[in-house]
Amino acid sequence: MQHLKEKGPFLPPASLRLLVPPLRLVSAALWQVVQRRDVMDYGMVEEFVVTVLDIVPDLMSYRDKVQLIMGLRAQLVLKLLHSEHLADSETIQPHLNRMKTCTITHRDNQICDPEVEASESNFLKLIQTLLEDPVERQRFFQSVFPEEFGPKYHSALQTLVWEFLSRLEKLLPTPTLQQVPP
């Protein structure tokens, strides 16, 4: 057995992609971000999701797409608002702009979903209020945030991420040894 270890690996390094294809590595990393609730990295997760959904729009339903994308971005915005030094319009506005385009970009056959549209509108109004009113922001993070954006919200978001990653995994076959370059 010692003799085998001294000779090194039996497969060329490129063949290791068979064991853990790059997409699986990215998926695992994104899943870890969501599981650990690394909210400051949710923007990266959301950008990956948007990129994949731009390429494969039928991977998820319109409602699931928007809930996932907006849910990730909403958590990031709320995290920024919760930290006093990042809670300003200049920091938050690019995230809000991205959220505004989300429902339009991922709309199926130009059909509006009133519930999705109302959810987006209500969230944007909430953020505007929290930006303008420090007392309301403090009250929100003490009483409303834990209830509305706490464990249940995170669990629903985690389920959407898992569904997205599972569907992506099923979509892409694992290459065989013959398909991997030496």
pLDDT per position as a tens digit, 124-164: 899 999 989 989 999 999 999 999 999 999 999 999 999 99
Q: Residue 7 falls within a domain, yes or no?
A: no
CB contact at 8 A, 92 and 81: yes
Highest mean pLDDT among 4-18, 112-126, 168-182: 112-126
> Does a structural domain hold residue 181?
no
Q: What share of the chain is helix, strand, coil (3-state, %, to 5)?
A: 80, 0, 20
DSSP state of 174: P
Is residue 4 one of the residues assigned to a domain? no
CB 53 within 8 A of CB 106: yes
Write down the pLDDT at residue 3: 47
- Token couple for 159: 């389920």
Confidence of residue 86 (pLDDT cuts 50, 70, 90): low
More confident residue, 19 or 46: 46
- 89-107 pLDDT, tens digit per residue, is 788 888 888 887 766 565 5
CA angle 34, 38, 43 (to 5 degrees): 80
Q: Kindly state whether residue 102 falls inside one of the protein's structural domains.
A: yes
Q: Could you read off the pLDDT of 68-81 as tens digits, one per residue?
A: 999 999 999 999 99
For the four alpha carbons of 21, 26, 29 and 31, in that order, the dihedral sign comes to negative
Sign of CA dihedral 66, 149, 45, 91: positive
Instruction: Please state the domain count of the chain.
Output: 1
Q: Which domain holds residue 66?
A: 23-174
Query: Domain for residue 52, yes or no?
Result: yes
Is pLDDT at 17 greater than 90 in this prediction? no
Q: How far apart are CA 11 and CA 128, in angstroms?
A: 57
- Amino acid at position 134, single letter: P
Note the pTM of the prediction, 2 decimals.
Answer: 0.79
Q: Is residue 168 part of a domain?
A: yes
**Long-range contacts from 136-144, C-beta under 8 angstroms, 24+ separation:** 137/81, 137/87, 141/81, 141/82
Angle between helices 22-35 and 151-171 in degrees, nearest 10? 170
Residue 133 in any domain: the answer is yes
